[in-house]
Chains A and B, each alone.
Chain A
C-alpha cells in the first residue's frame, strides 16, 4: 500500500470520531440508566408494556376522539369506565408529574408540549 503511514492512522482517527457516541459516555465515567419509575396501585388504562411504548399514540388518539368526535369515555377491559383525560385520568393515578413524566422525558430528550396548555393539578 502506498502512503500506509498516512492512511492507516487517518482511518483509525476517522473510525474513532465516527464511533465517538458509543464510547464517550462510558469513558467519561457516565453510565446513565433509564429512570426506574414507581407504579401506583391498580390497573392502568392499558397493559403496562403497551403503555410504556405507546402512551403517546394512545394520548394522541384520545385527544382526537375527545375533541373531534365528542367521545369522552373509555371502557376498560375490566368493565370500568374512565374519562379520556390526561390531567384527570392519567395524573389521577400518576400523581407526581415531575417524578413520573418528566424524568423519562428528560432522559429521552423529548419535550412534549401537552402541559403548555393542560394544567397540572395543584401539588402534582
Chain B
C-alpha cells in the first residue's frame, strides 16, 4: 500500500469536504417551488398595446342599454350598494359634458349634448395612479400596456383614486360580499379596504376571450385590439374616423378612444 503523504491526505480531505458541502445545496435546489413554463393550454390573446375604441354613435343607438355594465359587473363580482357614496364601478355611463369636460361647448351637436358616454379605466400609457401607488399594487404591464391591480398588495390608501383624473377607481368602504346579487365562483370578490377598477379583462384575455363588455354589447359598439398592429380593428377604425380621448391635455395618454 502506498504511503499516505500529508499532501495526498489533504487532497482527499478537501474533496470530501466539498462533497459534504454539496448536499445542502442540492437539497435546496430539489426543494425549490417548481417553476412554471410559459405554455398555457389555451392560447391567450396577446398584444403589444391593448386599446379600445368606443363608437358612441352605435352605443347611443341603444338608448338606456346597460348590457356591457351588467356583463362586466356580474363577471367580476362587483357589488351594488344602491347608493353613490359606496358605489363600486368598473364600467359605467356618464353624460357627455362630464365625461369630456374639455370638449363640450354651448352649441354642441344635439346628438351628443347630455348623452350617455361609456366610461371605464383608460389603461393610460402614462398612468398617474401607478406613479403614486406606494406599494406597487397597481402597475402598468410592460408586455401589453394593461394597468393592473394586485389586490393582495393594495393597502387601501386611495392615492390612486386621487391621482386618476377619470374617476375610474372605486374604494370598498364596506364588505362587498353582502351586496353581490349572484357571486360568480370563477372570479374572486374583493375585501373591505381595497381599491378596484377595470382590468380590460386580463383574466379572460389569458384564456383567449375578448373582454366581457365587448362581447356583451348588442350594438357591437366596442372594438378591442392591438394598437401596435396596423391591421387591427382598432387601428383601422382610428385611421378612418374622427376620434377623441378623455382629457387628452393631461398627458396621461389614455388608451380608450371615442368615435363621435
Contacts and interface: CB of A to CB of B under 8 A. Distances in A.
Given A70-B141, A70-B206, A117-B189, A84 B151 contact: no
A89 interface: no
A25 interface: no
Interface in A40-93: 45-46, 50, 54, 57-58, 61, 63, 65, 67-68, 70-77, 81, 84, 87
A119 B189 CA distance: 7
B185 interface: yes
Contact of B37 (A68, A75, A113): A75
A121 interface: yes
A38 interface: no
B152 A67 contact: yes
A118 interface: yes
Contacts of B190: 117
A26 to B, nearest CB: 35
Contacts of B40: 72-73, 81
A81 B41 contact: yes
The 10 closest A-B CB pairs, nearest first, are A117-B188, A116-B191, A71-B36, A118-B188, A73-B40, A74-B36, A61-B33, A67-B150, A119-B185, A75-B37
Contact of A58 (B33, B150, B151, B185): B33
B33 to A, nearest CB: 5
Q: Is the interface of B mostly helix, strand, loop or mixed?
A: loop
Interface of B: 31, 33-34, 36-41, 139, 141, 143, 148, 150-152, 183, 185, 187-191, 202, 206
A45 B33 CA distance: 10
B180 to A, nearest CB: 10
A58 B36 CA distance: 12
Nearest to A84: B36
Contacts of A121: 185
Contacts of B206: 70, 72
A3 interface: no
Nearest to B190: A117
Nearest to A81: B41
A71 B34 contact: no
A65 B148 contact: no
A76 B206 CA distance: 20
26 contacts: A46-B33, A50-B31, A54-B31, A54-B33, A65-B36, A67-B150, A67-B152, A68-B139, A68-B148, A68-B150, A70-B143, A70-B206, A73-B36, A74-B34, A74-B36, A75-B37, A76-B34, A77-B34, A81-B39, A113-B191, A117-B188, A117-B190, A119-B183, A119-B187, A119-B189, A122-B185
A113 B206 CA distance: 26
